[in-house]
């Protein structure tokens, strides 16, 4: 599980999205299925709020490592969901202000 603290955490992962575009589908509240359009692989990405903090978990090897070192990293799938959610929030704010 990765705590979202700074925008910089996602910069490198977001750069990878340009090379490998992802599609995002909401599976249930807080759970998204992210599919790599080039490779066809899909991973679940969960976004949770706990005590005012945002956490994200991805089912890929970078997000939920099974090999050593066991340190989760921000992956392109998590970055795709965060970018998507920020865009949706911005659209809703613009719609509400009109």
pLDDT tens digits for range 30-76? 999 999 998 999 999 999 998 988 888 999 888 776 766 667 778 88
Determine contact, residues 39/20, Cβ cutoff 8 Å. yes
pTM for the full predicted model? 0.82
Determine contact, residues 30/44, Cβ cutoff 8 Å. no
Rg of the Cα atoms in the chain: 14
Closest CA relative to residue 13, chosen from 61, 59, 62, 48: 62
* Domain encompassing residue 36: 2-97
Q: How far is residue 88 CA from its own chain's centroid? A: 14
Query: Domain total for the chain?
Result: 1
Mean pLDDT of 2-24: 81
* Torsion 68-77-60-32 (CA) sign: positive
């Amino acid at each position: 599980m990765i705590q979202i603290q700074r925008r910089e955490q996602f910069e490198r992962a977001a750069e990878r999205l340009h090379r490998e575009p992802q599609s995002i589908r909401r599976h249930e509240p807080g759970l998204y299925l992210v599919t790599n359009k080039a490779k066809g692989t899909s991973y679940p990405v969960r976004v949770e709020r706990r005590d005012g903090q945002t956490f994200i978990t991805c089912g890929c090897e970078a997000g939920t490592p099974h090999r050593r070192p066991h340190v989760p990293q921000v992956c392109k799938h998590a970055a795709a969901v965060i970018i998507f959610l920020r865009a949706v929030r911005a659209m809703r704010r613009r719609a509400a202000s009109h």
